[in-house]
Amino acid sequence: MNNADESRDLFSTAGQEIERAYLLDRLPELPAGAEVWRIEQGYLPESLPGDQGSVAPLEGRLRRVIMPDDTVCFTHTIKRGKGLVREELERSMTETEFSRHWPRTESRRLSKTRHRVRVGEVIWEIDDFDQLDIVLAEVELTDVDMKVEIPDWLVSHIVREVTDEPEYRNYELALRAMRE
C-alpha cells in the first residue's frame, strides 16, 4: 500500500464528484423551501503524503458549516483533478480537531452563504461569497452524460458555465478573497 492509499483510509467517503459550475450575474430570487447554510472554509498549505509529482495535486480543505437548525458540522475534504469530474475524499472532524488545524489555513480562506434548492433528482447550490462580488451556481450530477436542465428561476442569471475555469474553483477564490 502506498502513502496515497494509506491517506484514503482516513476518510469516511470517497468517490467521484461530477459537478457543473455557473457564474451568475447576481443572487436569483429563490423558490420557497431553499435551505440556507453558512460556510467558512480554508485550505491547508501542504499536500498529503504521496502527492509529490502527481499530475493532479491534492487539495486539503477544512470546512465549518452552520446548518438551518444551527447544527455545526466540521469536515476535511481532499479533491483531486480538474474540470467536470474529480475524485473527492471526505471525513468528519471534531470541533477540537478543526480548531487545531484552522490556523494553518490563514491567507487561504473564504466564507459564503449557500442556498440549496432541490429540483427533481438534483440539488442546485447557489453560493454567495462574502468577500467577493461573485455568485456561483453548482449542480452535482450522477453521470458525466447526465443532461443539465437549468431551472427557470436560474436560467436568466447565468453569465456562463465556468466548470473548466480554474479561477472559479473555491481554492482560487479563497486566495483572491484574502488579497481583496
Query: 176 pLDDT exceeds 50?
Result: yes
Q: Which domain holds residue 28?
A: 3-179
CB-based contacts of 83: which residues, under 8 Å, 6+ apart? 163, 164
**Residue 141 has what pLDDT?**
94
pLDDT digits (tens, 9 = 90+) for 26-37: 999 999 999 999
pLDDT at 58: 39
Rounded CA gap, 37 and 72, in Å? Answer: 10
Query: For a pLDDT cut of 70, what percent of the chain falls above it?
Result: 84
Of all residues in the chain, the percent with pLDDT exceeding 90 is 72
Number of domains into which the chain is organized: 1
Confidence of residue 70 (pLDDT cuts 50, 70, 90): very high
- The residue written with cell numbers 475524485 in the block is 87
CATH code, domain carrying 43: 2.40.320.10
pLDDT for the residue numbered 56:
28
